[in-house]
Amino acid sequence: MSDTRRLVREAADRLAVAGVPSPEYDAAELLAHVLGTTRGRLALVAEIAPDQAVRYDDLLARRAAREPLQHLTGSAAFRHVEVAVGPGVFVPRPETELLAGWAIDRAREVVAAGQTPVVVDLCTGSGVIARSIVDEVPAARVHAVELDPAAHAWAERNLAGTGVDLRLGDLATAFDDLVGTVDVLVSNPPYVPLEAWESVATEARDHDPHLALFSGDDGLDAIRVIASRGLRLVRPGGVVGVEHADVQGEAVPGVFAEVGGWQEIRDHRDLADRPRFATARRPR
C-alpha cells in the first residue's frame, strides 16, 4: 500500500471516530490540499515530506474537532466555480447548486427572448450564487446584497472582476433603484428556526455566522420579507426562487400564498428527494 493510501485510510478512521460525516472524502481532500494536488492524483505522489505530514496531522485534528473542511482548505467548489471561504461567511452547500441552476435557466430564457436579464441575489453570503450566474450567463446584469460586513468582505473577494453589482445592505430595503425591473430574484436566506439549535450540524452551528442560519421562531422571517419585497422588485412575469429547510416544503409556498400577488407557486425537491426550494412568478 502506498504512503498516501495508508495515510488516508488511517486518517479516515480517525475522522470517523470523531463523527465526521464524510471521513474518507475529507481525509483525501485534506491530504491533496497539503500536497498541492488533487484527490485523483494522490496515488502518484512518490513521498510525503515530514513537514507535510505534520501539517496534515494538524488539519486532521482540526477537522476531527468539526472545523469545516472548507475552512481548512480555504475554498468551496460550487457548480463550475470555486469561491474563497473561511470564518465569518456561510459555507456553500451542494444542494444550493439546484437553486442556482434554476436561476441560471430562468436567466437564459430571458437571453433567448433577446433581452438582458436582470438578476438579484439576496443574502449573497460568499457571493457564490451570483458568481455562478454571471459565470454561466455572461449577458446577465447581476446584483447582490449582503447584510453582514464580514460575509460581505468575502463576497467582495469572490466577486471582484466579475461585474456583479455587490452592495452592503438589508434585503428588506436594498435595490430601490431596481424596483419593477428584476427578471430573476434568488436567495438562499437564513431559514433555521431558533428552537432547532440543537439539530444543526456541528460544523454549521459552531462555525457558520448565526445571521446566515437562524430566522425567527419558525425560521420563516427572512422568507416572509423576500416574498413581500419581491413583489416590488420583480417585474410582471418575473420569478423568485428561495431555498428552505427540508421540513419547510409546505410552509414556504404557504408564505408566498399568504403574502398574495404570486402565481405558479411550487416547491422543488433535491437529489435526495427532499423539499429544497420554492419558486413563484409575478403575474404579467
* 212-265 pLDDT, tens digit each: 666 667 889 999 999 999 999 999 999 999 999 888 999 999 999 999 999 999
Q: Let me know the angle formed at the C-alpha of 91 by 10 and 51, rounded to the nearest 5 degrees.
A: 40
pLDDT higher than 90, residue 207: no
Average of per-residue pLDDT across 7-20: 94
146 belongs to an annotated ligand binding site: yes
Average of per-residue pLDDT across 185-189: 97
Residues found in the chain: 284
For the chain, give the percent of residues with pLDDT over 70: 93
> Class of 3-65 per CATH?
mainly alpha
pLDDT tens per residue, range 135-147: 999 999 999 999 9
Structural domain boundaries in the chain: 3-65, 77-281
pTM: 0.89
Which pLDDT band, with edges at 50, 70 and 90, does 1 fall under? very low
pLDDT higher than 80, residue 200: no
| Amino acid of residue 278 | A
Average of per-residue pLDDT across 74-95: 94
pLDDT value for 72: 94
pLDDT value for 193: 73
End-to-end CA distance of the chain: 64
188 belongs to an annotated ligand binding site: yes
Could you tell me which of 75, 78, 60 has the C-alpha nearest to residue 20? Answer: 60
Cα–Cα distance for residue pair 157/180, rounded to 1 Å: 29
pLDDT tens per residue, range 25-56: 999 999 999 999 988 888 888 788 899 999 99
Q: Which fold has domain 77-281?
A: Rossmann fold (3.40.50)
64-89 b/e (C-beta count within 10 Å ≥ 16 → b):
bebbbbbbbbeebebbebebebbebb
What's the 3-state SS for the chain? CCHHHHHHHHHHHHHHHCCCCCHHHHHHHHHHHHHCCCHHHHHHCCCCCHHHHHHHHHHHHHHHCCCCHHHHHCEEEECCEEEECCCCCCCCCCCHHHHHHHHHHHHHHHHHCCCCCEEEEECCCCCHHHHHHHHHCCCCEEEEEECCHHHHHHHHHHHCCCCCEEEECCCCCCCHHHCCCEEEEEECCCCECHHHHHHCCHHHHHHCCHHHCECCCCCCHHHHHHHHHHHHHEEEEEEEEEECCCCCCCHHHHHHHHHCCCEEEEEEECCCCCEEEEEEECCC
pLDDT tens per residue, range 104-129: 999 999 999 999 999 999 999 999 99
Q: Which residue has the cell 507535510?
A: 52
pLDDT value for 69: 94
pLDDT higher than 60, residue 2: no
